[in-house]
Amino acid sequence: EENTLKQDSVAAQDDVRRSTSEPLVTDNYTADPSAHVFEGKIYIYPSHDWDSGIPEDDTGAHFNMKDYHVYSMDSIGGEVTDHGVVLDVDDVAWASRQMWAPDAAEKDGKYYFYFPAKDENDIFRIGVAVGDSPAGPFEPQEEPIEGSYSIDPAVYEDTDGEYYMYFGGIWGGQLQDYRNNEYQGEEDIYPADDEPALSPMIAKMSDDMLSFAEEPREIQLLDEDGEPILTGDNDRRFFEAAWVNKIDDTYYFSYSTGDTHNIAYATGDNPYGPFTYQGVILEPVLGWTNHHSIVEYEGKWYLFYHDSSLSEGKTYLRSIKMTELQFNEDGSIQTINAMVE
Ligand code: FUB
Residue of 98, 151, 170, 320 to test ligand 1 pocket, by largest number of atoms within 8 Å of CB: 151
Indicate which residue's Cα is closest to atom 3 of ligand 1.
Answer: 100
Query: To the nearest whole number, what is the mean pLDDT of the chain?
Result: 95
The tens digit of pLDDT for each residue in 65-110 reads 999 999 999 999 999 999 999 999 999 999 999 999 999 999 999 9
First vs last C-alpha separation in the chain: 14
User: What's this model's pTM, rounded to 2 decimal places?
Assistant: 0.95
Averaged pLDDT for residues 198-212: 98
Q: 174 CA distance to ligand 1 centroid (A)?
A: 12
pLDDT at 5 over 70: no
Strand 163-167 with 201-204, pairing:
antiparallel
Q: Which atom of ligand 1 is nearest to the CA of 151?
A: 6
The tens digit of pLDDT for each residue in 239-252 reads 999 999 999 999 99
Q: 266 CA distance to ligand 1 centroid (A)?
A: 20
Per-residue pLDDT band at 6 (split at 50, 70, 90): very low
Provide the pLDDT for residue 341. Answer: 77
The residue among 44, 106, 111 whose CA lies nearest residue 72 is: 44
Assess contact for 177 and 121: CB atoms under 8 A.
Answer: no
Catalytic amino acids? 32, 240
Q: 46 CA distance to ligand 1 centroid (A)?
A: 10
Strand 336-337 with 17-18, pairing:
parallel
Averaged pLDDT for residues 46-74: 97
pLDDT at 214 over 50: yes
pLDDT at 200 over 90: yes
Indicate which residue's Cα is closest to atom 4 of ligand 1.
Answer: 289
Residue of 50, 56, 89, 152 to test ligand 1 pocket, by largest number of atoms within 8 Å of CB: 152
Provide the pLDDT for residue 15. Answer: 78
Provide the pLDDT for residue 171. Answer: 97
Here the ipTM equals 0.97
Averaged pLDDT for residues 256-266: 98
Share of the chain above pLDDT 90, in %: 95
Q: How many CB atoms lie within 10 A of CB 299?
A: 5
Q: How many CB atoms lie within 10 A of CB 39?
A: 11
Q: Which atom of ligand 1 is nearest to the CA of 291?
A: 10
Report d(CA 288, CA 56) in Å as an integer: 11
Helix, strand or coil, per DSSP, at residue 333: strand
Report d(CA 263, CA 291) in Å as an integer: 7
Provide the pLDDT for residue 237. Answer: 98
